[in-house]
């Protein structure tokens, strides 16, 4: 495996300010902006890119890593701060002035998203029942999210163009009560648009996944076989 290199890219119109987006050892995606002056660094912005992206305005970028406590430090401490407080070990830093230097913050975020979405990641759903809006009336799957938690989810058509979450819970851990079903705390919506786009948005934003496309199949027994069909497997 190649050693990880921290690639800091200069921000347009901000002399000495750099930005980057990277994935932590636990699969979280972090945006980091640094102001560099002589031999010191100041973290000017840091948030999880994979949270709150369904929101608008500043709320989209408000979920900061709780472990990050050191905002100003000597340059020589940069890599150790990222390892200890942002859960990512880098072996060296590259200060870059490449094609992103002329991009605004919004353009940089869109550029990163485009690069990320060039890879295909398929959400596999098992369908049953009559068809509504081009989809079976019931859709289920077992998946692994980007934190490698195994999740069972059961969706159904509700009426109009709306769907409902019937069941959603982790099934990869034993609890003291064997009948206990623990719903992922990120899931805050019960209703959603019953389309492929609406289902992808629900699962990506609220179950911490990064699927790009959805396919529907049948003939898979999700009750007897608990192996995840898709995701971080």
Residue 200 pLDDT: 94
Greatest distance between any 2 Cα atoms in the chain: 66
In this prediction, residue 116 carries a pLDDT of 67
Regions of the chain with pLDDT less than 50: 1
Task: Specify burial of residue 1 (Cβ count, 10 A radius: 0-12, 13-18, 19+).
Answer: exposed
In this prediction, residue 1 carries a pLDDT of 42
Q: What is the pLDDT of residue 117?
A: 59
Domain ranges of the chain: 5-117, 122-231
SS3 letters for the chain?
A: CCCCEEEEEECCCCCCEEEEEEECCCCCEEEEEEEEECCEEEEEEEEECCCCCCCCHHHHHCCCCCCCCCCEEEHHHHHHHHHHHCCCCCCEEEEECCCCCCCCHHHHHHHHHHHHHCCCCEEEEEEEEEEECCEEEEEEEEEECCCCCEEEEEEEEEECCEEEEEEEEECCCCCCCCCCCCCCCCCCCCEEECCHHHHHHHHHHHCCCCCCEEEEECCCCCCCCCCCCEECC
pTM above 0.75, yes or no: no
């Amino acid at each position: 495996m190649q050693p990880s290199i921290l690639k800091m890219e200069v921000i347009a119109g901000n002399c000495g300010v750099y930005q980057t987006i990277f994935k932590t050892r636990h699969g979280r995606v972090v945006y980091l902006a640094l102001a560099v002056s002589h031999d010191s660094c100041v973290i000017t912005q840091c948030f999880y890119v994979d949270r709150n992206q369904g929101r608008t305005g500043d709320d989209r970028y408000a979920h900061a890593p709780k472990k990050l406590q050191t905002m100003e430090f000597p340059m020589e401490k940069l890599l150790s701060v990222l390892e200890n407080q942002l859960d990512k070990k880098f072996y060296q830093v590259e200060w870059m002035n490449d094609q992103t230097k002329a991009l605004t913050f919004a353009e940089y975020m869109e550029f990163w998203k485009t690069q990320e979405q060039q890879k295909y990641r398929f959400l596999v759903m098992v369908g049953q029942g009559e068809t509504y809006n081009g989809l079976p009336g019931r859709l289920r799957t077992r998946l692994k999210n980007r934190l490698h938690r195994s999740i069972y989810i059961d969706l159904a058509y509700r009426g109009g163009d709306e769907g409902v979450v019937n069941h959603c819970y982790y099934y990869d851990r034993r609890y003291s009560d064997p009948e206990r079903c623990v719903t992922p705390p990120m899931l805050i919506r019960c209703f959603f648009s019953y389309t492929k786009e609406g289902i992808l948005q629900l699962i990506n934003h609220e179950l911490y996944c990064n699927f790009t496309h959805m396919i529907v199949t049948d003939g898979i027994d999700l009750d007897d076989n608990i192996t995840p069909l898709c995701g971080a497997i």
